Amino acid sequence: MSRTRVCLSLIIALLSAPASAETAAISHDPGPAAPPEMRRDQTVTERRASAEGPSSLFNALGNAPAWLTYKARFVTDQGRVVDTGNGQISHSEGQGYGMLLAVAAGDRDAFQRIWNWTRANLMVRDDSLLAWRWEPDKRPGVADTNNATDGDILVAWALVEAADAWSDMSYRVAARRLAVDIGRRTILFKTASQPLLPGMSGFSAEDRADGPVANLSYWIFPAFPRLATVAGEIDWSSVTRSGLDLLTKAQFGPAKLPTEWISMRDAAPKPAAGFPAVFSYNAIRIPLYLAWAGITDQRFHAAFSQSWSARERSGLPVINTSDGQTIEWMQEPGYDALSALEACAISGEAVPSSFMTPARTENYYPATLHLLALVAAQMRFKACLGR
């Protein structure tokens, strides 16, 4: 959640029963009915995603050299995942991504080191949520104890996957504690739109005149059915539906793209006050999470596919949603992996050869997104990989 694009600090026991069949199938519950012509397209895309199905995350990366390079560059011996593009800080998002990738690489030693560092350094709150940011040149390293809900979700999801991969009950217990607090403290179930708050402080209606404020990239769709297996009392299906509903409404400007930060005060969402009205570094993860969850309905992908397929150069555009114009480019090669996954998920287009060979020189964030896209393709869209 950190990186230079946003600084959150500026804005201030029994395991539950397995998820129901309805929850497990949530990736194919897109909400309101589509027009007949759209339902015909939806049937085709859902059939393709369902036929391939979601395989296990464990060992899904299938690229040992890429993981070894990633681990050597971004994971310290102590288990701290370093954001090289943001002052060498660490954050709950990066720790969660690192844990997920360790499971996908079948690397239990790395997983345990990352989890140990996370517990020792970010679990400093009175609840089970994680402090969002750790700075290497500060003592204490955590100056802002606010959480980042996407980081919490990623860590909890990784713990669920690790519990299954290595039959370790301690991971499952930790996942449950975290998932329950996510559900109880950051999801406004009693609000009509049921927003997922990006953090406990700074985003609610009590904190902001235009609150609650949400960020669609915090809806990590493939995680929710997995969290339901450890915290079934939380309505994760409803969380998915609220994200998809917001995605259909937060289509701003001529490009019909969501902004990074969205005010949900009124029935019609709008760009949140005090933030640039752009589609940028956060929001590019939305189609990644949709594809990874097997959600391939064109209603949710059309704006992303159109913006990315119309490019005349490599990289992804940062778009001003007010006029649809590109204001800068995300140029590191890892970003292109997201557009390749999007084309694969929506049209079945084969990925380019570069998709299988992540660059060895880029910063933490694009390098991480590239490996995540590769894992998603391995789990959901092997046909695009020629397999």
Distance of CA 328 to the CA centre of its chain: 23
Full DSSP string of 207-271: T-TT-SEE-GGG--GGGHHHHTTT-TTS-HHHHHHHHHHHHHH--BTTTTB--SSEE-SSSS-EE
Catalytic residues: 93, 150
- Residue 97, H or E segment: helix 92-104
The pair of structure tokens assigned to 215 is 């960020």
Q: In angstroms, rounded to a whole number, what is the distance separating the alpha carbons of residues 31 and 45?
A: 16
- Are 376 and 288 spatial neighbours (Cβ–Cβ below 8 Å)? yes
Distance of CA 358 to the CA centre of its chain: 19
Q: In angstroms, rounded to a whole number, what is the distance separating the alpha carbons of residues 387 and 383?
A: 5
Q: In angstroms, rounded to a whole number, what is the distance separating the alpha carbons of residues 98 and 179?
A: 18
The length of the chain in residues reads 387
> 3-state DSSP call for residue 120?
helix
356 Rama sector, left if φ>0, alpha if ψ -120 to 50, beta otherwise: alpha
Q: In angstroms, rounded to a whole number, what is the distance separating the alpha carbons of residues 27 and 29?
A: 6
The pair of structure tokens assigned to 310 is 């119309």
